[in-house]
Chains A and B, each alone.
Chain A
Amino acid sequence: MSALLSLRDVWVEYGDKIVLERVSIDIEAGSFVSIVGPSGAGKSSLLRLILGQEAATRGSILLDGTPLTPECGPDRGVVFQRYSVFPHLSALRNTLFGLECDQAPVLARLFGTARREAVEEATGMLAAVGLGDSLHLYPAQMSGGMQQRLAIAQALIKRPRILLLDEPFGALDPGIRADMHQLITRLWRDYSLTIIMVTHDIREAFSLGTRVLALDKRRHDPHAPHRFGATAVYDLALRKPAPDAADETEEAAASPDGEQDNEEKVGHG
């Protein structure tokens, strides 16, 4: 069993509304999985599930073979589209936070040598995401792109097993977004990360990912649209060229399954 994370027949229901049904996915360590799908197809629910922010109604989720508790933990890092950084802390302190929580349970602050070491590590991490010159800026003084870089540095300092990205570049303008794509690809390779990214941008999904999952509803009941949940209708493994030249030459290796009229229902979910 080589999968780092595996979902077995997972269902998510809110009351009688079924959001996800029969989701079974295995994710290998070191993969970069993009999740796409129309609005309301449960992309974010799936992410919250893996994050531990929500529990599955049925089915099981295993990380390294052990079932996940429905609570967030330091083994899964996250970057949201917004509000991922703490507005009251400077960039450096935002990055230090993860180290402080771990090493100082009561005060959550470090002193002396421990602090110097932590500051050094945080500074290195900020330099790796391109914020080496902005250690003492508050998030309000940063652009959207810088804030996302900070959020990534903050998450990576905990060396998470899985990094979850929830539309991380959705609010950025195209030029900045291209820079961020390069950054995340480089970090993914340098730190051998396992990344799961939810995105609206199909192009981004294919250019960054090694695997693309498309979530949508297989069936649609016009009288009770909420009674059918979404599941992974396409699961495309992309064969990347050499790892140092990963760009947009993607190849789909899996064949689409599911009915042909899936496309017509995009957006109804």
Chain B
Amino acid sequence: MRWVNRHVRRGDRLLLGAVPILLLVLLYLFLATQRHAANPFDKILPLPDGMMKAMAGLLFQPDQLTGQLLFWADTLASLERLGIGLGIATVTALLVGLVLGVLPPVRATFGPLVTGIAVIPPIALLPILFIALGLGETAKIALIVIGIAPVMVRDIAAHVAALPREQIVKAQTLGASSWQIMTRVALPQAMPRLFHAMRLSLGPAWVFLISAEAIASDVGLGYRIFLVRRYLSMDVIIPYVVWIALLAVAMDISLTLLSQRLFPWAHGDSH
């Protein structure tokens, strides 16, 4: 049997997917044990009990300075920034993308501007944002929005513009105005794509969040990682990175499920 025809059953797929991850964990444990056998005070590859000890302090003991449980304060601060940034970017992408995609004169007027903004590396704008908006929350959220919104706008606009011409013509023969075509034909069909764009933007959004927090912040997952780097605290950095990965995976999965639930017609729910 050819490999292209070997389809894996659902249960087996979970199992197969877990194998490489388990192997990586085992490899890490093997290397860490080896280093600790040579030097019990090794900081580069901490063992699980070392990580748990370090994390217990952040998870359960209030910080002496602020009185907060640091891990949870970091998570909350980061998720808030990410959520607001992603939310603003998504709404912008939907509104601007829809108008650009449906109305050719608007596309001709603002298309080049959006492309121009999209090609600027957002991190290069970070100093401008810090100067203009101060070092507070606004600058960090603005970085996320500027980082991901243009790409999302272009994606939605391209998707809407690529709707079959036949559909737009058909809608007009049914008496639809530009507004009705936008709200009843283009908008609903842009929604699944918007969820897709959000999923793809999650990665860059995290990058911009961590960058902004690393440079100027006093709380946040990225801030903590860069803070404890000074003490070579791999026993904090590694659990934080794993936690960020888990958060990102959870968001990705929930966006997928939500999209399938809300737009069954777009997910091959056929025959």
Spell out A's residues near B (CB within 8 Å).
Answer: 51, 53, 71-74, 76-78, 80, 82-89, 97-98, 100-102, 105-106, 108, 138-141, 151, 154-155, 158, 160
Interface pair A158/B175, CB less than 8 Å apart? yes
A90 nearest CB neighbor, chain B only: B265
A190 → chain B closest CB, angstroms: 21
Q: Is B263 an interface residue (CB 8 A)?
A: yes
Interface pair A71/B172, CB less than 8 Å apart? yes
Identify B174's interface contact among A74, A88, A105, CB under 8 A.
Answer: A74
A160 to B268, CA, bound (A): 33
17 contacts between A and B (CB under 8 A): A73-B172, A76-B173, A78-B169, A80-B166, A84-B170, A86-B171, A86-B185, A88-B189, A88-B265, A89-B188, A101-B171, A105-B180, A138-B269, A140-B268, A141-B270, A155-B174, A158-B173
Chain B residues contacting A108 (CB-CB under 8 Å) are 176, 180, 183-184
A104 → chain B closest CB, angstroms: 9
Q: Is B246 an interface residue (CB 8 A)?
A: no
A98 to B175, CA, bound (A): 6
Give the 3 A-B residue pairs with the shortest CB-CB distance, closest first: A72-B172, A83-B164, A98-B174
Interface pair A154/B265, CB less than 8 Å apart? no
A108 to B171, CA, bound (A): 12
B263 nearest CB neighbor, chain A only: A88
Identify B269's interface contact among A80, A106, A140, A160, CB under 8 A.
Answer: A140
Please classify how large the interface on chain B is, using the bins under 10, 10 to 19, 20 to 34, 35 or more: 20 to 34
Most-contacted residue by chain B among A53, A108, A138 (CB, 10 A): A108
A101 to B180, CA, bound (A): 7
Chain B residues contacting A82 (CB-CB under 8 Å) are 164, 166
A29 to B176, CA, bound (A): 25
Identify A155's interface contact among B173, B183, B185, B189, CB under 8 A.
Answer: B173
Spell out B's residues near A (CB within 8 Å).
Answer: 164, 166-167, 169-177, 179-180, 183-185, 188-189, 263-266, 268-271
Chain A residues contacting B266 (CB-CB under 8 Å) are 87-88
Interface pair B269/A154, CB less than 8 Å apart? no
B234 → chain A closest CB, angstroms: 49
B270 nearest CB neighbor, chain A only: A140
Q: A101-B174, A140-B269 are in contact. Are A72 and B189 (CB under 8 A)?
A: no
A85 → chain B closest CB, angstroms: 8
A66 to B177, CA, bound (A): 22
Chain B residues contacting A77 (CB-CB under 8 Å) are 173-174
A88 to B193, CA, bound (A): 13
Chain A residues contacting B166 (CB-CB under 8 Å) are 80, 82-84
A152 → chain B closest CB, angstroms: 12
A71 to B178, CA, bound (A): 12
Interface pair A158/B174, CB less than 8 Å apart? yes
A196 → chain B closest CB, angstroms: 13
Q: A108-B183, A140-B270 are in contact. Are A87 and B170 (CB under 8 A)?
A: no
A193 to B242, CA, bound (A): 67
Chain B residues contacting A140 (CB-CB under 8 Å) are 265, 268-270
Interface pair A73/B269, CB less than 8 Å apart? no
Interface pair B270/A154, CB less than 8 Å apart? no
Q: A87-B265, A108-B183, A141-B271 are in contact. Are A101 and B176 (CB under 8 A)?
A: yes
Interface pair A97/B269, CB less than 8 Å apart? no
Chain B residues contacting A100 (CB-CB under 8 Å) are 184
